[in-house]
Chain A
Amino acid sequence: MKKSPNKKIGYTVFILAMLLFPALANPKWLAIGSTFLIFSVVGLSEDIILGKGGMFNMGHALFFGIGAYTAAIANHTFGIPILYAIPLAILIPALCGIILAGPIIHLRGDYLLVATIGFNIVFLQLVENDIFGITGGPNGIFGLDTPTFLGFDLASPTAIYYLGVAVLLLTFYVMANLDKSKAGRALHYLRLDDLAANSIGINTRGYKIFAFGLGAGIAGLAGVLLAIQYSAVSPEAFNFMQSVLFFSIVLVGGSSLPGILMGTFVMFVLPEIFRDFATWRYFIFGFAMILAMILRPEGIFPARFGKIPDYFKKG
């Protein structure tokens, strides 16, 4: 399954640009760059559930938040170095994804959407009310340790940025594997026709829960990065509006790697560029969202099919 030359060039240019970006950016833009990487990872993880699996998940900030809070609590309350908390911050959101998806996965479309919104809001209120006295209430948790790795201090914004690049590339790798596996195809099948997929032997319910688990785990990993970037976690970073952002990233960008990157750029970076317009910014942005959907109802770069192995193509 070779990539077309254009695609190869595209990815090479993108990765080079990502690697060189810190040399050109001022601290403000470096921070925005890091957040772009983190949000892209979350966007990709939402794509597994929403784009590929076709499940209307409008509570994805929940898993992002559980990951961030897991790392923060592990570090702040239990004194675990934040990088060592990463496995936990992947596993716990993944388990939450599986456990929460179980009872609601049979809900259709909009009912699932509102149930996932519900989980997000319940989580936020638990955190804001300082559940078990470990979430820090409305202010969140401050003063997390800076990450160190093999004796190197990774506190600098540039180091955090490159950590983000590494995680994004790892996510690319996982997405590429998913695309070329039975599990990944199962998600496409069940999105397009649940009943036909089920009748051909696909345990659609199981794969839907799998999508939630995997998406939640990756979002959790991104959450750790956010906690590292700000040395803090606070509830408003994981509220329902954030979920709406991740939802829109997938739909505006389209369900594909370039789509999610473009979606994150449009939905997160563009508003930052136009920050000077202050009050008019989101007014115009709202129109842009409407226009984007009218012009590209499937997103800017929709999912493409027909990716079949070379030996199918006759010379």
Chain B
Amino acid sequence: MALLELKNMTKRFGGLTAVDHLNLKVEQNQIYGIIGPNGAGKTTAFNCITGIHPPEEGAVLWQGKEITGAPPHKVAAMGIVRTFQTIRLFTEMSVAENVMSGRHFQSNQRWWHGICHTPASRRDEKENWLKVKEALEFFKIDHLAAEPVGSLAYGIQRKVEMARALVSEPKLLILDEPAAGLNDSETMELVETIYSIRNQGVTILLIEHNMDLVMTLTDYITVINFGKPIAEGIPDAIQSDPMVIEAYLGSEDDDDE
């Protein structure tokens, strides 16, 4: 059984079909890539999976169970956590506080602990902060813990966002263009980070424009164009697929980010 399976998933905005009968299967512990020209519907597909924009047709199966249309916080609590193409952090808050949000559904505190703490809830509070500290150390940003995240460099913000997702102990980590805006050395570091996350047993689904990165990093790729899957396979096969080459060459002058 696949970890995540999309069956004929379709999303329309008015007359535009952003995702058109998309099928894919992400297996446990894979690094799975989705590529395609700009506007191909990749981010929309992620939004469908994570419940931000529920799909109109088709199904999202998580460990064999249908979760189509579940709200984002429930999807996250099942173990599907994402990052955003345009980094979305809580800009006024510190790095540590941002990452702490990832501990939200792992924490055992109940709503009344917001009014009156108990010894157990204080312990829980401390345990979660320690997890945050671990995550910051993993990403080598623990020295920035108290810094307001809005004032940090782009590459660091990307790390904070990944730390926030990872600290929630997801089963599937969805990365929306994790290398966008990173320089070469940051990208190299990202590759290592992604491998080491996978080695912790986390499955990864990512969108990326950097072809070299996708080809080295992923185990399996689906190419979509105009919302439709046009090819899938291992990186080597994709690289030589004429359909893919055409989709990319054909779109080159359309739009470029």
Contact = CB atoms under 8 A, between A and B. Distances in A.
Interface of A: 174, 177-178, 180-186, 188-189, 192-193, 195-204, 210, 214, 303, 305-309, 311-314
A80 B15 CA distance: 63
Interface in B125-183: 125-126, 128-130, 133, 142-143, 145-148, 164-165, 168
B9 to A, nearest CB: 18
A312 B142 contact: yes
21 contacts: A177-B114, A178-B114, A181-B117, A182-B107, A182-B109, A183-B113, A184-B114, A185-B97, A188-B93, A193-B90, A195-B52, A199-B50, A199-B84, A200-B76, A200-B164, A201-B102, A201-B168, A305-B92, A307-B94, A309-B126, A313-B146
A212 B220 CA distance: 47
A200 B73 CA distance: 6
Contact of B125 (A180, A189, A201, A306): A180
B90 A210 contact: no
B168 A181 contact: no
A210 B114 contact: yes
Nearest to B77: A201
Contacts of B147: 306
B101 A200 contact: yes
Interface string B53-82: 000000000000000000111001100011
Contacts of B128: 182
Contact of A183 (B52, B89, B111, B145): B111
Nearest to B133: A312
Contacts of A188: 90, 93, 97
B117 to A, nearest CB: 5
Contacts of A174: 115-116
B121 interface: yes
A61 B70 CA distance: 36
Contact of A214 (B107, B115, B133, B142): B115
Contacts, number: 133
Contact of A305 (B103, B111, B148): B148
Given A182-B107, A198-B71, A306 B114 contact: no
A82 to B, nearest CB: 23
A201 B73 contact: yes
Query: Which 3 pairs between the two chains have the least Cβ-Cβ distance?
Result: A183-B114, A201-B76, A201-B105
Contacts of A177: 113-117
Contact of B111 (A193, A204, A210): A210
Contact of B104 (A180, A182, A303): A182
A313 B82 CA distance: 29
Which DSSP category, helix, strand, loop or mixed, fits chain A's interface?
helix
Contacts of A182: 103-104, 107, 109, 113-114, 125, 128
Nearest to B103: A182
A195 B176 CA distance: 15
A183 B105 CA distance: 11
Given A199-B82, A214-B115, A312 B129 contact: yes
A200 B104 contact: yes
A182 B90 CA distance: 15
B94 A309 contact: no
B157 to A, nearest CB: 12
Contact of A181 (B93, B121, B146): B121
Contacts of B107: 182
B199 to A, nearest CB: 23
A198 to B, nearest CB: 4
Given A181-B114, A202-B101, A308-B146, 16 more contacts: A178-B115, A180-B117, A183-B111, A185-B97, A196-B84, A199-B50, A199-B84, A200-B81, A200-B165, A200-B168, A303-B92, A305-B97, A308-B96, A308-B97, A309-B126, A312-B145
Nearest to B129: A309
Contacts of B92: 192, 303, 305
Nearest to A186: B104
Nearest to A178: B114
Contacts of B105: 201-202
Given A174-B115, A197-B101, A308-B94, A183 B126 contact: no
A196 B88 contact: yes
A177 B71 CA distance: 29
Contacts of A183: 109, 111, 113-114
Contacts of A303: 92
Given A201-B77, A201-B168, A189 B90 contact: yes
Contacts of A306: 93-94, 96-97, 146-148
Contacts of A214: 114-115
Contacts of B114: 177-178, 181-184, 210, 214
A214 B115 CA distance: 8
A210 B52 CA distance: 22
